[in-house]
Chains A and B, each alone.
Chain A
């Protein structure tokens, strides 16, 4: 158990809908990262938050947005869902310092299926 929690574990929804994925980082970790794992694109970095602020950004679609709240939990919002958004979405956390460089520990993932 990495100490990172994600809910829900599974999500089935229809095209055009909107969903919210939730992540709680390990106790004391300030940085949260979101990754998408799909069959065709592999593991792709989406976005990083540090202590509530957006930091590094990957090829995150405009239909996707994220935020990190004062209690450090994070949410990833996916809207206008398409079939191709079906994937395993991971949240990871690290201690987060100005120098960076800590190990990222991953949550169990949320498996999203868009029908």
Chain B
């Protein structure tokens, strides 16, 4: 079974600094996908960024980038120039594919990020 590990329960970062949120994963599949979602205090789950296991380049989306190190099985989220609105829970997730479009996401326990003004 797949497993996602997020070892940082909480982080405090000064506004405008860069922050790295750690995520390691465990899978025996050759093809998989890794996602990061943001959950603000209001509760919704917001998709941030995706990395496919065969993608050679690290994914980037605006201020978000994914530091993908396949051999180390890590998929860390990097947020550049943090803003107060970045304060939220962040979840790393892996797609488990059962074939024929049957799939699910397995989530880590999350990291609560607080941006300090």
Which residue numbers of A lie inside 8 Å of B, CB to CB?
2, 31, 33, 35, 42-43, 45, 48, 50, 55-56, 58, 88, 90, 92, 96-101, 103-109, 111
Does B83 count as interface, using CB distance less than 8 angstroms?
A: no
A42-B110, A43-B91, A103-B35 as given contacts; A55 in contact with B101, CB under 8 Å: yes
List chain A residues, Cβ under 8 A from B100. 55, 98, 100
Does B106 count as interface, using CB distance less than 8 angstroms?
A: yes
- Of the four ranges (under 10, 10 to 19, 20 to 34, 35 or more), the interface on chain B belongs to 20 to 34
Number of A-B pairs, beta carbon distance below 8 Å: 68
List chain A residues, Cβ under 8 A from B112. none
List chain A residues, Cβ under 8 A from B35. 103-104
Which residue numbers of B lie inside 8 Å of A, CB to CB?
33, 35, 37, 43-47, 50, 52, 91, 93, 95, 97-98, 100-107, 109-110
A43-B107, A101-B33, A103-B35 as given contacts; A109 in contact with B44, CB under 8 Å: yes
Residue of A nearest to B42 (CB): A108
List chain A residues, Cβ under 8 A from B95. 100-101
Partner of B103, one of A35, A56, A88, A105: A56
